[in-house]
Amino acid sequence: MQIGIEQKQTQSQVLGQQLQQALFLLKMNALELNDYLGGMVVENPVLEMTEPENLFGNAGAFRVRMGTDVSQAGQSGGVRSNEGFFEIADSEGLKDELLQQLDIRGLEPKELLAAKTIIDSLDDRSYFTEPLSEIERLCDASAEQVQKALEAVQSLDPVGVGARSLQESLKLQLERRQVQDPCVYKILEGFLEELAHAKYAAIAAKLHISVRRVKEYAQLIKSLWPGVSNDAKREEIQYVYPEITIVRNGDDLEVQLDERRLPKLTINPEYRKAAEQDKAAKDYLKEQYIKANRIVSSLELWKTMLRRVAEKIVTVQKPFFLEEKPLAPMRLADLAEELGVNVSTVSRAVAGKYLICDRGVFSLKHFFVRSLPTSQEKPVSSDYVHEAIRELLEKDSSLSDSAMTRLLNERGINIARRTVAKYRMKMGIAPVYRRKQKV
């Protein structure tokens, strides 16, 4: 009985170590993978590595400036050339920082899972725009647990992360500054539009305060940042290359993982002979062989999972690649369910990875967009609404947010005016009164 129990525990430990190693490698992009495996080869005498034939291949190097907007870059072709390189976006650095801070918050397991899911769902301004009920469903957590998770995320630095709206982002920043004047919070909740139009007298009359005080509040609010990406600009440059190449053959798309850019690992069998001759080194070399096999298997899993994820992305987003259509709704959870893996596995597989196609270079996370309810048979994505807004303004640049909302509703897209305003701002389009001033 005792022997059986010990054997089962040993098998479980080995499986756990293998899984941990595979998940650790899976979150790396190819450049990080090359560096890490190179270090492992130095440490492990039985592990040998053949350097990639051509790390950057024919696609060239890609320079990543932290803090830029991958979605806007993608809409304009994905990349912008600069001195032979290409500037694209990456927000993984900030998310990694948030996850590191989260580990010391003392959350319960389900609260921690929910908080990590919220961080993974943050948009380019680090806003959390998904319904809390979706996090409850994904994490099998209660409303109370998810609320606590959201509060934990909103307590992280930089301040404003996890806000669900512009108002909440500004409110979190004021609270972090320990601003207690209730009037400034009233302006955030109900008078931001008037403030943007400098209607100080109207605000003063409704709040029964002086115009001078309203102007003071306006200066305070203007000192805040509308989104975390503005407050945490990063000049750090990272160099990446697309792990995936999408090749078009007529109406077919082929997903290629160029293994010439990846290291090749082998295990040197000669040390087995040495272990037989030197009993003192036997235990050490046995351990190194176990570690080497674990790393080789994990590398194969990295390649397999990345290829499977890319193939699913191409299947769902085929009109994007072939016809330059807007992205279709797609969630990490949906892809995880189709692949039969945990959503965190898919999240690791897409983290920091890029693909190159006829339209440019895109982060794999660029292809995951939320869906919006419609009266049509199929839901549409936020990317589809972006394109619809752009088309409406190309036909009539004088359209207000309310007018665009009405036109989109007539198309069967159930969207609120504040959501249209949010998308318009995200696209860098000025409000109607400023557009009219330029005419």
Looking at per-residue pLDDT, the higher value among 104 and 86 belongs to: 104
Report pLDDT for 276.
64
193: closest CA among 218, 230, 225? 218
What one-character DSSP code corresponds to residue 364?
Answer: G
> What are 433's two structure tokens?
């009164």
331: closest CA among 76, 109, 70, 120? 120
Report pLDDT for 378.
72
Residues 6+ apart with CB under 8 A from 202: 194
Assigned CATH topology for domain 105-163: Arc Repressor Mutant, subunit A (1.10.10)
Q: Do 298 and 21 touch, CB atoms closer than 8 A? A: yes
Q: Give the mean pLDDT of 25-53.
A: 85
Assigned CATH topology for domain 371-436: Arc Repressor Mutant, subunit A (1.10.10)
Q: How confident is the model at residue 67 (pLDDT cuts 50, 70, 90)?
A: very low
Residue extents of the structural domains in the chain: 105-163, 166-226, 242-367, 371-436
pLDDT digits (tens, 9 = 90+) for 321-371: 998 888 888 888 889 999 998 888 899 999 888 888 888 888 898 898 877
pLDDT digits (tens, 9 = 90+) for 278-320: 666 777 888 888 888 899 999 999 999 999 999 999 999 999 9
pLDDT digits (tens, 9 = 90+) for 353-367: 888 888 888 889 889
45: closest CA among 252, 271, 241, 259? 271
- From CA 333, how far away is CA 335, in angstroms rounded? 5
Query: Using DSSP, how many helices (H) and how many strands (E) does the chain show?
Result: 22, 12
pLDDT digits (tens, 9 = 90+) for 186-221: 888 888 888 878 888 888 888 888 888 888 888 888
Residues 6+ apart with CB under 8 A from 321: 246, 248, 253, 314, 357, 358, 359
Q: Do 78 and 324 touch, CB atoms closer than 8 A? A: no
Q: Please report, rounded to a whole number, the percentage of residues in the chain having pLDDT higher than 70.
A: 79
Assess whether the region 105-163 and the region 371-436 belong to the same CATH fold.
yes
Q: Is the pLDDT confidence value at 235 over 50?
A: no
Q: Is the pLDDT confidence value at 238 over 60?
A: no
Q: Is the pLDDT confidence value at 236 over 60?
A: no
Q: Is the pLDDT confidence value at 102 over 80?
A: no
Give the range among 273-277, 379-383, 397-401, 414-418 with minimum mean pLDDT: 273-277
